[in-house]
Amino acid sequence: MTGIYDDPWAYELACSFRDVPAEVDALLGWCAEQGLAPGTALELAAGPAEHAREFARRGLAATALDLNPRMCAYAAREAERAGVELEVVEGDMTRFALDRRFDLVATMLDSTSHLMTLDAFVAHLRCAAAHLSPGGLHVIEMSHPRDRLGDDPSVSTGWTVERDGVRASVRWGEPSDRLDPVTQVADDRVTMTITGEGTEPRVVRDVVPYRFWTATELDAAVRLAGGLEAVAQYGDFGAGEDAVPLAGPGAWRMITLLRPR
């Protein structure tokens, strides 16, 4: 039996409520605000590498890195099918060593929740910093702290998506999936029911350990890693007049822009 991360097509379908082109618009808009016109981009813990593929569509020399070989194979196949050039590397986001630097390094979709310890988070940041060009940006998208600390979460644990005649009902976490107050880890139960034209009805089930990080812990990890400093934080994808403050009522993510010191 395989889990959600071993089924890249299903995982991408589950996340298809995201508007990846609009998110890349925001990422490039933030780069412009920081005086950066990126020509190279690296997506870490990329999974199906939707953001890296979108970077490639826009002419950036894009690389996607992920630990899961099935995700890597899927990302390479989808890039080829779309006719875009994408380098795919199988590797760990806490200990990778590529032979070049990148203008933009992105860790999206709360992939940092798979870093279970402060040491792992610091190692991730140090690796990212070592692969940044001078003046480059490392963008980290995390869940908003109110999802675990507040009484009114900004993200639902259940949603439905439809794409190409296929419908999926997703539940990512159940009310009984409690956050351990000591480790700050919750075992989120995932259930995805897939139906639609040309698709055999099936159910994907998994248990995904999730490590919750607070804003102050993120700040501590950055300071311990050294070499990076935060230059901006946002609560959603939007640049310029569309920017959403992290503490604003419309914030639903914690997005941090880091630059080399």
Question: Per-domain residue ranges for the chain?
Answer: 4-146+212-260, 147-211
- Enter the tokens of residue 31: 């780069």
Look at domain 147-211 and name its CATH class: mainly beta
Does the global pTM surpass 0.85?
Answer: yes
Closest C-alpha to 173, from 159, 160, 161:
159
pLDDT digits (tens, 9 = 90+) for 204-261: 999 999 999 999 999 999 999 999 999 999 999 999 999 999 999 999 999 999 999 9
pLDDT digits (tens, 9 = 90+) for 137-179: 999 999 999 888 876 655 568 999 999 899 999 999 998 899 9
The pLDDT assigned to 156 comes to 66
- Enter the tokens of residue 120: 């792992």
Contact 86, 75 (CB under 8 A): yes
Topology adopted by domain 4-146+212-260: Rossmann fold (3.40.50)
